Amino acid sequence: MADWTRRGFVGSLWGIAGATSLAGQQRSNTAHEMRTGQGSIKITDLRCAIIGRNPVIRIVTDQGISGYGQAESSKAYLKPMVLFYKNYILGEDPTNVERVMLKIRRLGAFKPWGSAVSAIEIALWDIAGQAAGVPVYKLLGGKVRDRVRIYNGGVRFPMNGQTPQDYAENMVKMKEAKEGFTLIKQAVGFHNPAMMRAAPNGWYDEPRTGAPHADRGLLTERGLEHIIACVEAMKKVLGKDIGLALDCGPGWTVKDAITFARALEPLHITWLEDLITGDYTPYPNADLFREVTQSTSIPIHTGEQIYLRENFKDLIEKQAVNIIGPDPVDVGGIAELKWIAEYADFHGIQIAPHGIFDGLIGLAAHVQMAATLPQNYIAFEYPLGQPEWWCEIVDGLPDPIVKRGFIDVWDRPGLGVTFNVQSAKSHLSDEDRHFFD
Q: Which structural domain, as residue segments, surrounds residue 345?
A: 147-424
Q: What is the pTM of this model?
A: 0.92
Contacts of 325 (CB under 8 A, 6+ apart): 273, 301, 302, 303, 304, 351, 352, 353, 354, 381
Kindly report the CATH number assigned to the domain that includes residue 313.
3.20.20.120
Q: Is 130 exposed, middle or buried (0-12, 13-18, 19+ CB in 10 A)?
A: buried
pLDDT at 170: 98
Distance of alpha carbon 302 from alpha carbon 296, whole angstroms: 15
Q: Is residue 319 part of a domain?
A: yes
Alpha-carbon distance of 209 to 252, in angstroms, equals 19
- Write the pLDDT tens digit of every residue in 339-365: 999 999 999 999 999 999 999 999 999
> Residue 52 carries which DSSP code?
T
Q: Which residues neighbour 38 within 8 Å (Cβ) at sequence distance 6 or greater?
A: none
Output the DSSP codes for 180-207: --SEEEEE-GGG-HHHHHTSTT-BSSPP
For range 203-230, the mean pLDDT: 93
> Could you tell me if residue 419 is inside a domain?
yes
Provide the number of structural domains found in the chain: 1
Residue 136 belongs to a domain: no
d(CA 142, CA 154): 29
What confidence tens digit (pLDDT) does each residue in 261-297 have?
A: 999 999 999 999 999 999 999 999 999 999 999 999 9
Query: From CA 161, how far away is CA 166, in angstroms rounded?
Result: 6
The answer to whether residue 35 sits within a structural domain is no
Within-domain flag for 2:
no
Q: Note whether residue 196 is domain-resident.
A: yes
Tell me if 96 is assigned to some domain: no
Whole-number Å distance between alpha carbons of 86 and 43: 10
5 has a pLDDT exceeding 70: no
Task: Let me know if residue 154 belongs to a domain.
Answer: yes
Under the banding of pLDDT at 50, 70 and 90, the label for residue 214 is confident
